[in-house]
Amino acid sequence: MPERESMPYDVVIVGAGPAGLSAAIRLKQLATDAGAELSVCVLEKGSEVGAHILSGAVIDPTGMDELFPDWRDTDCPLAVTPVTENYHWVLTKKRKFNLPHLWTPPFLHNKGTYTVSLASLCRWLAGRAEELGVEIFPGFAAAEVLFDDQGRVKGVATGDMGVARDGTHKHDYQPGLELHAKYVFLAEGARGHLTKEIIRTFDLARDAQPQVYGIGIKELWDLAPEKHVPGRVVHTQGWPLTETDGSNGGGWIYHQANGQVSIGFVTWLSYTNPYLSPFHEMQRWKTHPAVRDLLEGGKRVSYGARVINDGGLQSIPKLTFPGGALIGCSAGFLNVPRIKGTHGAQLSAMMAAKAAFDAIQAGREHDELHAYPEAFEGSALKKELSIVRNVVPTVKKWGDSLGSALSGVMMWTEHFGLKTPFTMKHHPDHDTLWRKDLVKPIDYPKPDGVLTFDRLSSVFLSNTNHEEDQPVHLTLRDPAVPIEYDLPMFDEPAQRYCPAGVYEVVGEETGDPKFVINAQNCVHCKTCDIKDPLQNINWVVPEGGGGPNYPNM
């Protein structure tokens, strides 16, 4: 077996999202200010920076303000579309009720925020990072954490390229690269693959609640020009999930630059009915008269899906381990009622960067960066997350109407400084499904090909591509479980929760059912890794560069 080459860096960062790029930039800014040498590299599994980024996005600019105080005076795409109007609709099947602003606390009003494609913002950040000397390697997936003989993290290795499905080496085989570092930052976003391993290895979640998630399904539409109001932002709650007991979530409509609107629907993965399909809920949501009216005369141009952290403050694990740290949504700094994680990703990244820079300057390496969690403890970010920490569990416990009302009261009282004397718990998403014989199957309408679509034509718009002859990256701990357990218990829910139609059960009609995995269609949303009832599916990185090629999501 050929030896892997290794390259030494001061800091290696896994993931070129807002967290990874902000950490890289801050490290280099600190080095420049101190006149110090510091080598930083960022690995990105997408074919280019932004190719795997999917978000809303309405962005709280506090992260950008701290990173580049003058960003508004540059060509930064975030500056193009300030939010000008903010609405919150409560939907019934045919009607909408516009929630008065005065009913919701000010931090939900989107004052001073901006709407943008997060991918385009990441590409801009990548440009700034490279100007500062950061080395960014797109198309390289970090596949393995490397440990030294004391069990401390000493780096990561990228996956081998050119391995066939049966494990043999093809003519273009190249062994992975080892990237050694004094500190490794995991910035993989929600449900990172290496993050999962590190959390388990160092038991980082022992004092935290389980992380819980939603699956966000997004479409980008070119709107009829007369319907486009740049800066208008709408959130919806209620229908269609009100039709299915035990489910929660909501939609967004963000009018962005270039005559486009970002629309999407998040279904919390705590849903209980195994017949629920988040993809079809999103399609159904578009048929509401208020959403249909907006989209009529427009054209869908892109599609994608990605999970979002819903656990909030109580689900953030221990942030450091010997030799590195979790930053951004790898740790889970997302404010759920505000649906905002970008600023938290950036702010946490800068705190970690400062801790690592100071440690390296002091001659340290591979130890724990205690200054990072200490900085978070005293931060405005922690205060912001604390205020909303009970919202998700309250809505799950009491349902959409009563739960929203109760959590509204809690947010108001917390806003005025009256701290709720308890923090509610979470239940893991893989453990919430009811047996199929205890629930009603859901009959979703057929797509019309104009407003609503099927999964395969949708995945086509995500430009997803994987080298077909490679080991399947959706691994099963026990290959028998889908047919012997999931099918009789839950009618194998993977057939419905996967937004890309990767999982199928074929041959049921002949009495010989088989579980099929169309791995090449995977859009890397991570839902299967979370929702599979026995945690039998383990998502691992495929060859670097594979996956969606989102233009501007």
Ligand X SMILES: Cc1cc2nc3c(=O)[nH]c(=O)nc-3n(C[C@H](O)[C@H](O)[C@H](O)COP(=O)(O)OP(=O)(O)OC[C@H]3O[C@@H](n4cnc5c(N)ncnc54)[C@H](O)[C@@H]3O)c2cc1C
- The residues annotated as belonging to the active site are 55, 306, 342, 498, 522, 525, 528
Binders of ligand SF4 in range 307-326 (CB under 6 A): none
> Which run of H or of E encompasses 44?
strand 40-44
Shortest Å, Cβ 463 to ligand SF4: 14
Which listed range, 32-40, 188-196, 274-282, 407-415, lies at the site for ligand X (CB under 6 A)?
A: 188-196
Read off the tokens for 130. 């490279």
Closer residue to ligand X in complex, CB, 140/490: 140
Binders of ligand X in range 19-78 (CB under 6 A): 19-20, 43-46, 52-59
**Cis bond before residue 441 (omega within 30° of 0):** no
Which listed range, 269-277, 336-344, 450-458, 514-522, lies at the site for ligand X (CB under 6 A)?
A: 336-344
Helix runs in 160-248, H state only: 193-201
For helices 380-387 and 342-361, angle between their N-to-C axes, nearest 10 degrees: 140
Shortest Å, Cβ 145 to ligand SF4: 20
Q: Are 319 and 326 a contacting pair, CB within 8 Å?
A: yes
- Distance, in Å, from the CA atom of 192 to the CA atom of 525, rounded to the nearest integer, reads 10
Among candidate residues 541, 521, 518, the one with its CA nearest the CA of residue 529: 541
Q: Are 153 and 458 a contacting pair, CB within 8 Å?
A: no
Q: Which of ligand SF4, ligand X, none sits in contact with 308, Cβ below 5 to 8 A by type? A: ligand X
Q: Report if residue 341 touches ligand X, rule: CB under 6 A.
A: yes
The burial class, CB within 10 Å (0-12 / 13-18 / 19+), for 371 is middle
Closer residue to ligand X in complex, CB, 193/496: 193
Shortest Å, Cβ 335 to ligand X: 8
Q: Where are the beta strands (DSSP E) in 347-467?
A: none
Phi, psi of 372 (to 5 degrees): -70, -55
Q: Which of ligand SF4, ligand X, none sits in contact with 249, Cβ below 5 to 8 A by type? A: none
Q: Which of ligand X, ligand SF4, none sits in contact with 187, Cβ below 5 to 8 A by type? A: ligand X
Binders of ligand X in range 90-119 (CB under 6 A): 118
Name residue 186's beta-bridge partners.
14, 326
The burial class, CB within 10 Å (0-12 / 13-18 / 19+), for 154 is buried
Task: Compute the chain's Rg from CA coordinates.
Answer: 23
- Distance, in Å, from the CA atom of 88 to the CA atom of 243, rounded to the nearest integer, reads 20
| Maximum pairwise Cα distance, the chain | 71
| Member of 11, 12, 18, 408 binding ligand X (CB under 6 A) | 18
Read off the tokens for 61. 């600019």
Q: Which of ligand SF4, ligand X, none sits in contact with 241, Cβ below 5 to 8 A by type? A: none
Residues 424-463, mask of contacts with ligand SF4 (x by CB under 6 A): ----------------------------------------
Binders of ligand SF4 in range 467-526 (CB under 6 A): 474, 498-500, 502, 522-526
Binders of ligand X in range 286-325 (CB under 6 A): 306, 308
| Member of 78, 142, 145, 360 binding ligand X (CB under 6 A) | 142
- Distance, in Å, from the CA atom of 158 to the CA atom of 531, rounded to the nearest integer, reads 27
Shortest Å, Cβ 137 to ligand X: 9
Binding residues for ligand X, per CB under 6 A?
Answer: 14-20, 43-46, 52-59, 118, 141-142, 187-189, 192-194, 216, 218, 264, 266, 306, 308, 328-330, 334, 339-342, 345, 541
